[in-house]
Amino acid sequence: MNSTNTTPQAADQPLLRVRDLRVSFRADKKTMIETVKGISFDIPRDTTVALVGESGSGKSVSSLAVMGLLPPDNSSIAATSVIEFEGRNLLAMSIDERRDMCGKEISMIFQEPMTSLNPVFTVGFQIGEVLRLHMGMDAKQARKRSIELLEEVGIPSPATKVDAYPSQMSGGQQQRVMIAMAIACEPKLLIADEPTTALDVTIQKQIIDLIEALRKRHKMSVLFITHDLALVGEIADQVIVMRHGEVREKGTVRQIFENPQDPYTKALLMCRPSLDTRPWRLPVISDYMNGNNGTELDLRERTRGCSGKEDILLDVRGLGKSFYSREGLFGRKEFQAVKDVSFKLARGKTLGVVGESGSGKTTVGLTLMRLHQATAGQALFEGKDIIGMSNQEFMSYKRRIQIIFQNPYASLNPRFTIGQILLEPMRIHQIGSDDNERTEMAMQLLQKVGLPTAAYHRYPHEFSGGQRQRIAIARCLTLRPEVLVCDESVSALDVSVQAQVLNLLQDLQEEFGMSYIFISHDLSVVKYLADQVMVMHQGKVVELANSDDLYHNPTHPYTRQLLSAIPRGLQN
């Protein structure tokens, strides 16, 4: 716990005071673009303040400005800006003074632990480096304290894990290591930048609970940066809502949830799927902006479920997939990623597949696509086993079953224009009589997924994550598939962009009668989109039921554990 005493007068002052923060980035040699436009806020002592907004709102840039981590050659902070920590102006400090303070009194948990942790050093060495640099510990003291910190953040067998490399740990454990590094010097302010994005719902809850427990134990203040207001309701005392580099609204968490004043705040609250209702279409930001105030929303409820009388398109029986690693000189070790998985996918319906990382849900999707070779079972597509087919026989089925991958940044070839990306599968499968007809079809598909036809001549790096995911959907649609495997296809998107993509998927299903296998760790999204839900745990199916039945009356303990971990916003 921090031993620094504060005077009564200092205790009344905010721990961090930001006034008129303006940050600009260099677009070219002559042009600077202002991304943070004069924002002001306070972080009181022993308080959690949430900074909320979509990608590009300026929230992460603001936190990097506080930490002094903005690139000096490519960015500038206005001379009128003030960032005060305990009354000291951070912007007036030397680089060495700032570095010492920001490692010891202010620390930060970054969004992606795998890119923040050095892959060639053990986690113990990396935590110890912080202790040696800022606390003056020797190697023996640093190792002992590193083990204590790993134990404090809930890493199992910390005395062993201290010598592990980041690649030997799960995503949740990597994030816990980052938290251990951040609290190593017992800082007064902890900045958590999207610390739970794309984590499983159970791991997400563990991280939220851990941060809150550490805040109370160490009497820290926390600046929690996120785009998910449901999380905010579970951890924050105060909320600051940002959009386009400006503060749109701020107040206590109860004020923001129960009586939001700004249309943008109302939109963020409504965009995320609810566990209680299933509107015909999810609201998007535009439904509340420009004076709309949600007045044109479709208030109809959408029903989901299967009666058992539907036409079965895909019948999976006893699917298994094992991976093998070398053990000893001649032996090999088997790991069963998927064990005896069976389900039926009805035409025009959606099967949601949920479970934690490592449960086997993505492996099921990739095996059905024959991107992994199944080691057991059958997958009957209209009665024909696509698992046992030769590559030549399966070629005609590639058109009928397609996949949207999780990462829209990695699934599009950066050297191809959007037009080339859309035309390539049509040429391979001889769709369209010539390139002129294919180009016309590609233009129509771009419009169908909500993108301008001008996108045809641009490259993937010129688009946002949500737009890239729309391009990936358009690429799948070029083949007019009957089954679409969506592998965590909305997990890393802002709630507003996520709502747009989910609405698009519903529209396409209604228009083309496609069937979806929707793989996700976000149970709120699955509840909204799926007719049936299959719960996987350690490679096995532990429960399969209509979505409403499963959410209202789960029968397996693991399903109940998953549902209890869903963030539900403000709690009474």
User: Using one digit for the tens of pLDDT, what is the confidence trace for 399-427?
Assistant: 899 999 877 778 899 999 999 999 999 99
Residue 8 has pLDDT above 80, yes or no: no
- % residues pLDDT > 90 (the chain): 57
Q: What does the pLDDT read at residue 1? A: 40
Reported as a pLDDT band with limits 50, 70 and 90, residue 160 is very high
Q: Under 8 Å CB-to-CB from 125, ≥6 apart: which residues?
A: none
Per DSSP, the three-state class of 535 is strand
Helix segments in 220-262, DSSP class H: 229-235, 253-258
Mean pLDDT of 536-543: 94
Q: Would you state the CATH architecture of domain 312-564? A: 3-Layer(aba) Sandwich (3.40)
pLDDT (0 to 100) of residue 7: 43
Residue 62 — pLDDT band, cuts 50, 70, 90? very high
What is the edge-to-edge ordering of all strands in the sheet holding 384-385? 331-346, 312-327, 376-381, 384-385
For residue 572, what pLDDT is reported?
Answer: 52
Gap between the terminal Cα atoms of the chain? 30
Looking at residue 38, its pLDDT comes to 95
pLDDT of residue 194: 86
Torsion angle, CA of 417/419/422/425, rounded to 10 degrees?
-90
Residue 513, number of CB atoms within 10 A of its CB: 12
| Residue 352, strand partner residues | 518, 533
Residue 30: Cβ-neighbour burial (10 angstroms; 0-12, 13-18, 19+): exposed
Residue type, 292: N
**Range with lowest mean pLDDT among 112-121, 251-260, 455-464, 527-536:** 112-121
pLDDT digits (tens, 9 = 90+) for 81-117: 999 999 999 999 998 889 888 878 999 998 777 778 9
Q: Which residues of 326-358 are buried (b: 16+ CB within 10 A; e: fewer)?
A: eeeeeeeeeebbbbebebbbbebbbbbbbbbeb
Question: Model-level pTM?
Answer: 0.83
Residue extents of the structural domains in the chain: 312-564
Q: Three-state SS across 378-445? A: EEEECCEECCCCCHHHHHHHHCCEEEECCCCCCCCCCCCCHHHHHHHHHHHCCCCCCHHHHHHHHHHH
Please provide the average confidence, as pLDDT, over all residues in the chain: 89
Which of 197 and 539 is assigned the larger pLDDT?
A: 539
Summarize pLDDT for 168-177 with one digit per residue, the tens: 887 778 888 9
* pLDDT score, position 470: 86
